Structure 1
Amino acid sequence: MRLIVPATEGRAVKVRSGQRVRVTDLEGGQVGDVFAFAADDVNEHLSASHTRAATSRLFPAVGEQFVTDRRRPILTLVEDTSPGRHDLLIAACDPARYRALGVPGFHASCADNLARNMAGLGLAIPTPQPVNVFMRIPVADDGRLSWLNSISRPNDSITFEAAMDCVFVVSACPQDLVGINGHEPTPLAIDLLDGRQGVSEQ
């Protein structure tokens, strides 16, 4: 099953344990905020900080796992066809972030996209720190961060395998004031895959 995530919007899917889910950058240069929640208790969620502690990396390598705030594996990184620049440091954009950047009225945000899609499933949760796929935030020797444009190419993808039944949410980041998306957000795609890595018909 393929689900298109329109630019600046979000989409949620339910993923079974052992099932694979792929996020594809359709046009290149687009950041995706990825969230995951335990299906039987959405208060348990993928945690960037707990994952960094588990892997001793700024981002897991292929074959390594993302863990929850209860330190249980929730996703395994199984394939990455992109240049491999992703982020586990930056919070999801939200209305306060855009106000701080000088936006006077409404601006779409990853936090709002998450809340809206979870509400569509009858769920309400706070916004955890996401896994920012295709996002390039290098750390300099002096500890400073740089907000660089994504270098993912058209149809680059990153694939996860669910380690538990979970709700998987992707926001095609609406950020157009900081140059992470080249100031022009574009769509992403979510593919649910079967055990042979083909697209599931479910």
Structure 2
Amino acid sequence: MTATTTSAVTVPARGVKAFPLAAGQHLRITDQEGGQVGDLFVYRTDDPGEYLSASHTRAATSRLFPAVGQQFVTNLRRPVLTLAEDTSPGRHDMLIAACDAERYRALGVPRHASCAQNLVDALAAHGIHTDSIPQPVNVFMDVRVDADQLVRRPASTRPGDSITFTAVVDCLAVLSACPQDLAPVVNDGDPTPLSVTVFSDGPAGA
């Protein structure tokens, strides 16, 4: 079997892109320069009111983050993605909320770009309007649980590290290259781009 690439896109630093996925297609996120966090959101194509839920996924897997081969589920507890491959050190987060306008207002920068606004803008471009921001899958973000404390560490990804998901159903994936540059532990204080490749399995020679 070979892979047939349908799209390869760079999500610019602080930017966002949306990726329609058919069931069975793969979404690979690559950290171009290392140390960059990406906020991933996923919505079912046939019902945007059903979306990837971090809390339901933790309950389904009994893990803070799924292992390769395990599935992410929606707010209706139905599979939406499978974790297919991970060439990174394997630290990803599903505990920390997306950065938003209120977070940056508290930091004294009210007009700062945010993952929450990136999501709203990306969905609007696809005719989907929402005031609710789900808990994202924070790929490459290293958050450790130490007793009752959450300890944030710099992302340990190296240039070229990647994580690959397989769509279980037709869905719309949205990836924000996190714009956080005020907390040095996130993105090393200097956001950089992420690469996304959407591909399908095809017969040899395809």
Partner Cα distance (1:127, 1:23) in 2: 21
Q: Secondary structure at the match of 2:75?
A: coil
Q: Give the secondary structure class of the aligned counterpart of 2:118.
A: helix
Matched, 1:54 2:84: no
Q: Going by fraction, where is strand more abundant, 1 or 2? A: 2
Query: Distance between the aligned counterparts of 2:157 and 2:199, measured in 1?
Result: 21
Cross-structure match for 1:88 = 94
The TM-score, its normalising length taken from structure 1, stands at 0.95
Deviation (angstroms), 1:102: 2.4
Distance in 1 between residues matched to 2:21 and 2:56, nearest whole Å: 21
CA distance in 1, matches of 2:197, 2:119: 18
2:174 pairs with 1:165: no
Counterpart residue type for residue 35 of structure 1: F
Aligned residues: 197
Mapping of residues 21-36 of structure 1, within 5 Å: 21-36=27-42
Offset, 1:196: 4.7
CA 36–197 in structure 1, closer or farther in 2 if over 3 Å, else same: farther
Cα deviation for residue 101 of structure 1 reads 1.9
TM-fit CA distance, 1:100: 1.6
Q: For residue 16 of structure 2, what is the amino acid of its counterpart?
A: G
Give the structure 1 partner of residue 151 of structure 2.
146
- Whether 2:8 is the aligned partner of 1:2: answer yes
For the pair 1:120 / 2:125, whether they are aligned, the reply is: yes
- The letter for the 2-side match of 1:79 is E
Asked if the contact 2:24/2:200 (under 8 Å) is kept, the reply is no
Instruction: Output the amino acid matched with 1:160.
Output: F
Name the residue aligned to 2:190: 184
Using the size of structure 2 for normalisation, the TM-score is 0.93
Runs of 4 or more, structure 1, over 2 Å off, are: none
Report Cα offsets for 1:71-126 as digits up to 9, x if no partner: 000000000000000001011000001112222x3000000100111111111122
Cα deviation digits, residues 42-66 of structure 1 (max 9, x gap): 0100000000000000000000000
Q: Percent identity?
A: 57
CA RMSD of aligned residues (A): 1.5
Secondary structure of the residue aligned to 2:105 is helix
Distance 1:64 1:165 in 2: 18
Match of 2:180 in 1: 175
User: CA 1:106–1:127 in structure 2 vs 1: closer, same or farther (change >3 Å)?
Assistant: same
**Unaligned runs of at least 5 residues, structure 1:** none
Distance 2:149 2:202 in 1: 42
Residues 48 and 172 of structure 1, relative CA distance in 2, 3 Å threshold: same
Q: Aligned partners of 1:180, 1:84: CA distance in 2, in Å?
A: 16
Q: 2:19 aligns to what SS in structure 1?
A: strand
- Partner of residue 113, structure 2: 108
Give, in angstroms, the shift of residue 67 of structure 1. 0.1
Counterpart CA distance in 1 for 2:112 and 2:203 is 37
Partner Cα separation in structure 2 for residue 20 and residue 155 of structure 1: 17
